[in-house]
Structure 1
């Protein structure tokens, strides 16, 4: 049997934020198509998935910039600490009371509620004054996170995290092509084929 000895070398730059962002964009497109034709079936579930992916997109982009620009960056740190470190490294002092940065806390709150889901018991015991014929029997089984499940909020999150991403890339002087998964790979034959028995 003839065997060859080869030297393989390569380097891969895997950037997951693109895949997560693509998933969020796919879900957003699907939601907007449903909305355009008036199809509301399961749209709240689609929006839930999209918002989770948008939150993951933001944090994975945060981690990418952190790896590029923050010495000793630790991806497993608390979100607010990582964000503060990245903003400090980029010398940015955004106003968190207005968009796009105000959206970040809302999106994070939503993500945390979903990621750390826990049961909740709400006790109602109230005296209600009502006019004759008025609907006094209002009892909605909705969680606090369901207030986020609107196409308007989904669009706001998508637009705002993209706006922040563009600002960060420009400030960090990182070209878009550097954020895409890429790599190089080569194979070199080290010697002429040898005949091995066996």
Structure 2
């Protein structure tokens, strides 16, 4: 039977990105099969989570966010929020250092290029597992379980800090959105 659905729905993109990052980390922790790709996805989703939160907060905080949003880099957006909310940040320490790392990682992945890298460095390699080490492109070396865990934790902390500074509550991840709809028969 044909029906008409009317209403509106809100989708909180940064919350979905956070769920995606968490899921990818869970998969990476469970098995080595495909682990690199799950780690890449986790770290990239962490960067997307921050970017989406910046847009979420910007739309709440500034009437002209759509104009500002396109003119500012990701880092400049973050610095603007910190300045306007009196949040101090030191990009030499976590979690702020992680922000710069994951945005660099995200940009490297988004604009990937084939590379040839000369490598000579001392590493711990088990001779019976000679294929279980990573050397090469910077992004491959960054895509580790430790860095993915750090990225997820620090992104959540950065978002909570801004969220609380704007007096939006303690848990920015408690909702992915919702809607109200009316259904009628035609």
TM-score where L is the length of structure 1: 0.72
Instruction: Please say if 1:20 is aligned against 2:17.
Output: yes
Deviations 1:101-141 (A, max 9, x none): 110001111111100112334479x9xxxxxxxxxxxxx87
Specify which of 39, 43, 54 is matched with residue 51 of structure 1.
Answer: 43
Specify which of 26, 31, 38 is matched with residue 29 of structure 1.
Answer: 26
Aligned partners of 2:175, 2:34: CA distance in 1, in Å? 34
SS in 2 for 1:32: helix
Specify which of 87, 109, 113 is matched with residue 108 of structure 2.
Answer: 113
Per the TM alignment, residue 76 of structure 1 is displaced from its structure 2 partner at its CA by 2.9
Instruction: Please say if 1:91 is aligned against 2:86.
Output: yes
Contact 1:69–1:86 (8 Å) recurs in 2: no
Per the TM alignment, residue 70 of structure 1 is displaced from its structure 2 partner at its CA by 2.8
Specify which of 95, 100, 103 is matched with residue 95 of structure 2.
Answer: 100
Per the TM alignment, residue 184 of structure 1 is displaced from its structure 2 partner at its CA by 2.4
Aligned partners of 1:187, 1:46: CA distance in 2, in Å? 40
Task: Say what the alpha-carbon RMSD is for the aligned residues.
Answer: 2.8
Instruction: Please say if 1:63 is aligned against 2:63.
Output: no
May I ask how many residue pairs the two structures share in their alignment?
165
The answer for the alignment partner of 1:10 in structure 2 is 7
- Segments of 5+ residues of structure 2 without an aligned counterpart are 121-133
